[in-house]
Amino acid sequence: MAAPEPEAPPTAPTRAKDHSPWNWLLFIPIVVPLIPAFFNGDSPRVFGFPRFYWLQLAFILLGVGTTTLVYQMTKKRGGR
């Protein structure tokens, strides 16, 4: 649980800017799963799954990884 920051000097109002270059990373898991050339094939198979199925399921990890990374990198500085 992220505890609310105790400091917050009176001059700076509690503002979390959502402009960060890290945010551009979010385009990767939006664009990659929408390109059929990557996944629309049968081989190689993994545990009997054609590529079409295992690769799209693997894109879930890509999405989770990217959103987690962006969240961690854009969290308010000074948080524990």
Partner 1 sequence: MWRDHLTEIIVFSLLFLLVSVMGFVAARWRAPKDMAHLDEWGLGGRSFGGWITWFLVGGDLYTAYTFVAVPALMFGAGAAGFFAVPYTIVIYPLVFLVLVRLWSVSHRHGFVTPADFVRNRFDSPVLALLIAITGIVATMPYIALQLIGIEAVLKTMGVTGDNALARHLPIIIAFAILAAYTYQSGLRAPALIAFVKDSLIYIVILVAVIYLPYKLGGWGDIFAAADAKFDASPNPNDGILLNGNNQLQYVTLALGSALALFLYPHSITGVLASRNRDVIKRNMSALPAYSLLLGLIALLGYMAIAAGVKPLPGNSAGSVDNNTIVPLLFDQQFPDWFAGVAYAAIGIGALVPAAIMSIAAANLFTRNIYKEYLKRDASPAQEANVSKITSLVVKVGAVACIVFLDPQFSIDLQLIGGVIILQTLPAVALGLYTRWFHRAGLIVGWVAGMGLGMWMLYQVASPTRKHFGGSAFPLSEFGFDTTRTIYVGIVAVAVNLAVAALVTLALRAAKVEEGVDGTEPDDYFADEGDPRVTPGTDSDADSAREPVA
CB of 54 to partner 1, least distance (A): 10
Q: What is the rounded end-to-end Cα distance, in angstroms, of the chain?
A: 10
Q: Does 7 bind partner 1 (CB under 8 A)?
A: no
Q: Does 64 bind partner 1 (CB under 8 A)?
A: yes
CB of 15 to partner 1, least distance (A): 5
| Nearest C-alpha neighbor of 38 from the set 47, 26, 29 | 29
Candidates 11, 36, 77, 78; binder of partner 1 (CB under 8 A) is 36
| Whole-angstrom distance, CA of residue 13 vs CA of residue 25 | 28
